[in-house]
Structure 1
Amino acid sequence: MILRPRAEFLSLAEELQSYILSFLSCKDILRCSSVCKALRQTYLSCSELQYITELGGQQLLPVPDMDIDNKTSFLTRLQLLRDKAHAWFKLDIHSSETVFVPEPFRKYTNTFLVHGHLCLFNEVRQMAKVFPILPKPSQQIGIEHDWFPESLHSIPDADCFEVIMDPEENLIAIAYVIHRWAEDDNDKIYIDLGVLDGDGAHPQAAGRTLSLSSTVFQGDILASDELEVAICGRHLTFLHSQRSTVYDRPNEENKMWWLQIWDWKHSTTSNCVISDPEARESSDFCFLGNDRLLTVSKDLKLYSIEDLSQAPQLLACFLMPVSVTLIECLLAMDDNIAHSSPLQRQVHRTMWTSDPKNRLVSLVACIRSEAPNSFTFVISTRIFFNLQVGVFGGMATIPWECWGPLNSRIFPHDSQCRVGISGNRVLHTFPATGATAGDEDPSHDTNYKLYMIDFSPLAVQRRQGLGTVVTEPSTIELTESVGKLTTFLPYVAVVFDRTFGADQLMDILVDEDRIYLCKPNIEDPDSDSIGQLEVIDI
């Protein structure tokens, strides 16, 4: 028998080695490059392999269509990716441009930042407007359009209560109610879909009007009712919540809520309804990718929503360490992630996007105690995708001790603190001097500084000597009854050299290219509406 020599991997041409390695994950590529000097050299000479590992280190995913169509070399992509990461640490917080909200929308207006556009809806005047925010030359032409009462809906007795826009999908969703005054009839709610750059029906929508489930809304609109609509790519949601006083406890409220989800491109009907008829806390929700939904109330409940023609499947319940009275879910604005708060994303298509399995969710929670305090919980979304039996032993209800400490950090938060998120970075304001975050009523004279907190694995390497690395655990006391909680999620923090007055910031919103500082209306500082945006390029 003649023995033929076996073809070994190292005997292949370097180009072929690189091609084979490119099918591996970033971790496996790094493992291979540490095996021997030859593979290390192959890795160092191939910009595509370095680009793959850089994406993994920043917890990003390539956008498939852009990889096929884009002619940009991997060397250029790698440099762009590294430069953008470094730019966060060298951010010039003093360099900005200002965008003013148009005069008719400076009061009683819901303001949204959506895909690089400013979207405005004035419920009192029944008017809406969308226009691009300081568009860059590299961006596509933005959408600019105005709606007046007669163009928002054609039904005379209709009352429009929500207008949501998505410039990337050229979609507008107009939600309105028709009040029925007869005793034997109920109010009716409709959600119409159309195009942003005109007045016609959307060509990709399954139909003009979405059908609401009777379990989500029935009866009449009460003053205490909350009605909210949100869009996230192919998903559109309608949230209806009602508050009522507990019969035997007049100082306590019940909150019942129902959430319906549609795939608006494929069906006008949906059986995907989530409800909690006994919730006594405030609530919020967010999408984690295309097939998972997280509801946020006294606990965090994770649902599978792969099939919107069926009821959602409860995957797990993650217990919070304390009982809260008020909770707000803050999420990355530039990701394929949605919630009942405003969204934003750039119109132009990028070569990468953040990984749904490695993002951040921030919960601002007011703790129920003898002296109420507020805290910011920053949680890695990886825990919501790591549900193998071996991790939690098949538990459907997971205690905080099993999931929270290793996957989160807790920061003090007062009523004047502001939080914004982009991918794995959090922008958070903390008191510069005087009052301490967590005080029940901080002084209006307190100044605040802006911190950038980066939780990505490569943050330590790319900070170039800037910022403070925090790898050791931190402990914070929540309440006297609960005691102290220790959390371990590592991060790098940079403090910017600029202070803000307590009343100068209404909100902070962030996407991958910009920071938007939302400021009050100068002419009416007591108004709840945003008057102007200070836009800072990253």
Structure 2
Amino acid sequence: MCSEHVGAHACWQLTKMNSAGFITLAEELHSYILSFLPWRDILRCTSVCKSLHQTYMSSSELQYITELGGQQLIPLPNADLDNHASFPERLQLLRNKAQAWFKFDINRNSFGRFPVPTQYLDSDVVSGELVDGHLCLWYADKDSAAILPILPKPSQQTIEHDWSPGSLCSVPNGDVFMDPAQNLIAVATFDNSDLRSSDEVRVVLGALDEDGAHPQAAGRVLLQSTVLKTGHDGFVSDGLKVKGLGRHIAVQRCRVFEHGSTDGGAKCMWWLQIWDWQHSTTSDSLLSDTLEIASGRAESMGVDFCFLGNDRLLIASGDLKLYSIEDMSQAPRFLGCFLLPILANSMEFLLTNQDGSQPQAQQMPWTSDPRHRLLSLVMGGPGLVFVISTRIFFDLNMFEGMTAAITWKHWGPLNTRVFDAHWEPSHIAITGNRFLRALRVGLDGMWYELYMIDFSPLAMKHRQGLGRVVSEPSTVEVQPGGKITTFLPYVEVIVGKKFGYLVNMWVDNDRIYLLNEPADMVWARTDLPEFKVVEI
């Protein structure tokens, strides 16, 4: 019998035997049996028995298990920390990292300012993505891509690659996904020069550091399997998004038409195709739908998608639709529809980019648990941001018989917090179970304060008297005449002093990256944007 089954059987026996018999076992057996329990059960057992409490207090391994669970982290199986550091060392490091989030100061902890290279000062470029400490930039009009490490390490290098005109993106409609950990670039394009015709989306895969196909890709070009046919008048917008996570690449195409709906509003026609890019000749699947848009909102595309780990996909299309993509040889399997309390002009997901499939990006032997992370859904129109615990999308047993339409009252209030979102998505960032937002302050609105909000179960323990505990419900008003009340508890800390005009913000497990300009230089543009990196 494998050790996992032995442990499970031992845990079952623990619940059956009388307390006197169990207490006679050696302390190391107590510790061994408890180590197979979930972290909450460990705490329950050790809180009702003095002997087990003593076992827990003397076991760094048990405390490490509960600390990981309480911070909603999971160990990386192949990670190595200082040549297999002991459990006491890992436990102390884990606790120090958690407490640092409540104690850091945006000025005291700063590494300093790092200028953005002059050739990358285009407004479209500075809104690029930051992955694993690298800023990923793309010039659509120059066919140029660059991967710049903000704080270079011996293992990192600057990757700059210019393509000849037209070779990277031969038409002006496209999007780019870059993954430095896998040396991957995916460029999605289409040609809509004739709006009544069927046009095809192409996704070109390549390596970031050289020409040609990626060595692990099954093919150089991914083609959509179903062409989007429209033929409607009243064309408003046509957009494309490409995203990836691990082995998955997905492309979403949306077309919006005025007067396309039955009530005189607009219609958004969209499809989304997913590939396993390393086996794309045999593994791809397609989703499509039509979304009715209220009159006066035809200029927006209220559709977005995100990966929840390596096996689930969430689509925002009116409501939130959850699919399993574990088996890429078949169409995505519908798991449930989570109804939202309001309609929105547009919806955009923000989700941490940490993932256990990319251990090279990790400096610690743990990562955030895909089943217990945060994602945010930014809603244009009502001006709200929903911070959602991803646990709700992995524990579907509680909704048995409701998967076709899970009403907001059954899933939303206890698993979300809703905030006013009268700021740009670039002023919001998420990592693991921490949510950061930058708010304008002052009469001129040229200064910002940074708020760190921690939703992990042990946040109150680690705050050590710092910050504001919010456990009571909060209500935001939605026009016309609506209200949304949510309950997910958190701890909030205002971070350090005010800082100058914010262009963009990113965060990872260890650092906050602020791309800002001195407030008194914004309009004259006499100073260059620069990075301020804050160590956590």
TM-score category of the 2 structures, normalised to the smaller one: 0.7 to 0.9
C-alpha change, 1:177 and 1:345, in structure 2 (3 Å) is farther
The C-alpha deviation readout for 1:218-242, integer Å capped at 9, x for no partner, is 99xx993212221211111112111
Aligned partner of 1:438 in structure 2 is: none
Residue in 1 that maps onto 2:535: 537
Per the alignment, residue 121 of structure 1 pairs with 138
Q: Which amino acid aligns with 1:293?
A: L
Report the Cα offset of residue 162 of structure 1.
Answer: 3.4
Q: CA deviation at 1:433?
A: 5.1
- 1:358 is matched with 372
Alpha-carbon deviation of 1:192? 2.6
TM-score (norm 2): 0.83
- Structure 1 SS opposite 2:97: helix
Rounded to whole Å, the distance in 2 between the matches of 1:217 and 1:184 is 8
Aligned to 1:422: 431
CA drift of 1:447 comes to 4.1
Shift of 1:464: 0.5
- 2:408 alignment counterpart: 400
| Residue identity matched to 2:185 | I
- 1:24 maps onto 2:37 in alignment: yes
CA distance in 2, matches of 1:323, 1:508: 27
2:393 match: 384
Measured in 2, the distance between the counterparts of 1:173 and 1:134 equals: 25
SS at match of 1:480: coil
How is 1:307-456 mapped onto 2 (pairs within 5 angstroms)? 307-335=327-355, 347-367=361-381, 373-388=382-397, 390-391=398-399, 393-415=401-423, 418-432=427-441, 444-445=444-445, 447-456=447-456
Quote the Cα distance in structure 2 between the aligned partners of 1:526 and 1:223: 35
Cα separation, 2, equivalents of 1:129 and 1:64: 32
Q: 2:120 aligns with which of 101, 105, 124?
A: 105
CA distance in 2, matches of 1:351, 1:318: 34
Identity of aligned residues (%): 49
TM-score (norm 1): 0.83
In the TM superposition, residue 201 of structure 1 has moved relative to its aligned partner by: 3.3
Closer, same or farther in 2 for the Cα pair 1:248/1:514, shift >3 Å?
A: closer
* SS of corresponding position for 1:168: helix
Question: In the alignment, residue 532 of structure 2 is paired with which amino acid?
Answer: E
Shift in Å, 1:77? 0.9
Give the match for residue 144 of structure 1: 158
> What CA deviation, in whole Å up to 9, does each residue of 1:424-481 have, x standing for no partner?
11111234456xxxxxxxxx53643211111111011110000011111122222233
Deviation at 1:32, TM superposition (A): 2.7
On the 8 A contact 2:199/2:228 being kept in 1, the answer is no
Q: Which residue of 1 aligns with 2:54?
A: 41
CA distance in 2, matches of 1:160, 1:362: 27
How many angstroms apart in 1 are the aligned matches of 2:82 and 2:139? 41
Contact 1:128-1:163 at 8 Å conserved across structures: no
SS at the partner of 1:505?
strand
Instruction: Work out whether residues 143 and 167 of structure 2, in 8 Å CA contact, stay in contact via their aligned partners in 1.
Output: no
Structure 2: distance between partners of 1:345 and 1:478: 42
| Amino acid in the other structure paired with 1:192 | V
SS at match of 2:484: strand
**3-state SS of paired residue (1:285):** strand
What does residue 489 of structure 1 align with? 488
Please list the CA deviations of residues 179-232 of structure 1 after superposition, one character each: whole Å capped at 9, or x if unmatched. 999x9996554323233333343332222222322246899xx99321222121
Query: Does structure 1 conserve the Cα–Cα contact (< 8 Å) formed by 2:143 and 2:163?
Result: yes
| Closer/same/farther in 2, CA of residues 43 and 307 from structure 1, 3 Å limit | same
Segments of 5+ residues of structure 1 without an aligned counterpart are 1-5, 338-343, 368-372, 435-443
Q: CA deviation at 1:303?
A: 1.2
Structure 2: segments with no counterpart, 5+ residues: 1-18, 294-300
C-alpha RMSD of matched pairs (Å):
3.5
The equivalent of 1:275 in structure 2 is 288
Q: Distance in 1 between matches of 2:241 and 2:487?
A: 35
1:340 alignment partner in structure 2: none
Question: Is the contact between residue 198 and residue 228 of structure 2 (CA under 8 Å) also seen in structure 1?
Answer: no
